Amino acid sequence: MLIELDKAGSIVGATKGDFNKSTGYSRNLRELSVFFGVELTRREGKTLGLTPAGAELARLVREHFHALAGFQSRWAAAPANYVIAADESLLQWLVAPRLQALMQAKAKVVYELRNRQPPDIIRGLQEMSLDFGIVPANAVPATLKQHPLGALAYAIYLPKGLWRKSSRPLAILANVPMALHTSGGPFEQLAFALAKAYRVKLDVRLRCESFPQACNALRTGQFATILPTLVDPAWYSEPEVQVIPLNQFENVSSPLVLAWNPRMVEVRPEAAHLLEILSAALPLTQRTKAKT
């Protein structure tokens, strides 16, 4: 109950408007407040949310469940469940190809992959609703631990029908229909900043929420795009594609890290072995060779 309320932000959100369930939650929260002698909820508009004390209790409950899960996996031979979060492109092109290496844990492990953006991943790691996250290095607060995975580089990808020559950087994209990851994050800002700096107007014809979506647009042969160089060439096998690395530009690479909450390893000691496996299996391998 506390965990659901902490995640949803309010009783209405946690119970999805179920009146009977909301009534039960309110009663149980009052009983907990009396038991601990501290207010756990506060009114926010027409509903109840957690006070800072309530949020701390929810975190303690979450840690307790983590410890119990570790106990069960150690003594009852039950599978240990771990959640790895990253954005969709990293799950598709970094984590998924390395699943075989991730299965080398001494105990039986069940992985759950979640598509999340960095702010949600950081929050989930802090709350211990996520176990491991792959995020930009500069997004990790001091309360979390991190292991470097390398820099994520980018390249221009052009289908054969749109190939052209140019002596100016990025000018190859002038007047070329583009599919671009435009989620409003750092990548979108970088792409347009580079284009402005080199006096190239990007002709964005398709706005995508993820790099895999942009890659699928590339496969149609109708769009150029900018993708991480770790993309598997199998994703754009039709048609032939020219790959032009952007490593000649400053601030184009993005250092990534594997992040986790040290408290999670304390309550689940077996996670230390899994951490070693993840740290060894997930360093970035860039692919920049053009398909011919």
**H/E segment holding residue 121:** helix 118-127
Instruction: Give the Å distances, CA to CA, from 53 to 15, 32, 39, 144, 278.
Output: 21, 12, 7, 21, 34
* pLDDT tens sequence across 54-75: 777 777 777 767 667 666 666 6
The tens digit of pLDDT for each residue in 202-248 reads 899 999 988 999 999 999 999 999 998 889 888 886 558 888 888 76
pTM: 0.75
Tell me which fold the domain 2-56 belongs to.
Arc Repressor Mutant, subunit A (1.10.10)
Contact call for residues 5 and 11 (beta carbons, < 8 A): yes
Which residues is 136 bridged to in the sheet?
256
Give me the CATH code for the 79-150+255-281 domain, please.
Answer: 3.40.190.10
Q: Where are the domains of the chain?
A: 2-56, 79-150+255-281, 154-245
User: Of 47, 46, 52, 37, which Cα lies nearest the Cα of 6?
Assistant: 52
Can you name the residues that pair with 264 across neighbouring β-strands? none
- The token duo for 114 is 């979640």
- CB of 155 within 8 A of CB of 244? yes
123 SS3 class? helix
**Which residue has tokens 């039950």?**
78
- Do 2-56 and 154-245 share a fold? no
Task: Kindly report the CATH class assigned to 154-245.
Answer: alpha beta
